[in-house]
Amino acid sequence: MPAFATQAVSAADLEDLCEIRVRAMRPSLERIGRFDDTRARQRFRNQFRPGQTQLILVDGECAGFFCLIREEGGFYLQNLYLLPGLSGHGLGSAVLRQILDEADAAGLPVRLEVLIESDATRFYERHGFVQLRQDGVDLFYQRPALIIQS
């Protein structure tokens, strides 16, 4: 499992995180004919929550970020993005495992949305997420909390 650390972000990190998101999402959006750089950046700016967003650091360098929001009855994983080139080496799984461990400790499910035809669908399904529905653009997933025996 790759070693990583997390660090809180601030409002000043917005544009750097926006760039990571656009670079990570671009191939999937282009595949379905929906890439629009301006729209992608504005959508992220509109949903940015610095208080719930964490940088993912590897060897002290930014490797990506995630936004985990505690809601009534569960967690919402709004974002989990790695810089291009860092996927496929176990880092995303290690970060997601930490998030799922937190949810399991609280006895709560985690939900998220994935763009249709995104490679992320297989990633989340491997980690126990089940598709609940779709809306033509996004797939909606949930992973139930695992019961931790003490």
35 domain residue, yes or no: yes
Kindly state whether residue 119 falls inside one of the protein's structural domains. Answer: no
Predicted pLDDT at 128: 95
pLDDT of 43 reads 85
Could you give the number of structural domains in the chain?
Answer: 1
In-domain check, residue 85: yes
Q: Assess if residue 48 is contained within a domain.
A: yes
Q: Examine the pLDDT at 150 and tell me if it is beyond 60.
A: no
117 within some domain: no
Contacts of residue 117, defined as CB under 8 A and 6 or more positions apart, other chains included, come to 28, 31, 32
**Residue 142 main-chain phi, psi, to 5 deg:** -145, 145
Query: pLDDT tens across 80-117, in order?
Result: 999 887 777 799 999 999 999 999 999 999 999 998 87
Torsion of CA 96, 43, 118, 90, to 10 degrees: -30
Say which residue, 103 or 137, is predicted with more confidence. Answer: 103
pLDDT at 1: 56
Q: Residue 23 falls within a domain, yes or no?
A: yes
The pLDDT of residue 27 is above 80: no
How confident is the model at residue 30, as a pLDDT? 72
Give the whole-angstrom CA distance, residue 15 versus residue 30: 21
Select from 99, 119, 118, 123 the least CA-distant residue to 109: 99
| Domain, as residue range, for 45 | 5-110
- Whether the per-residue pLDDT at 148 is higher than 90: the answer is no
Read off the CATH number of the domain in which 93 is found. Answer: 3.40.630.30
- Asked, for residue 47, whether it belongs to a domain, the answer is yes
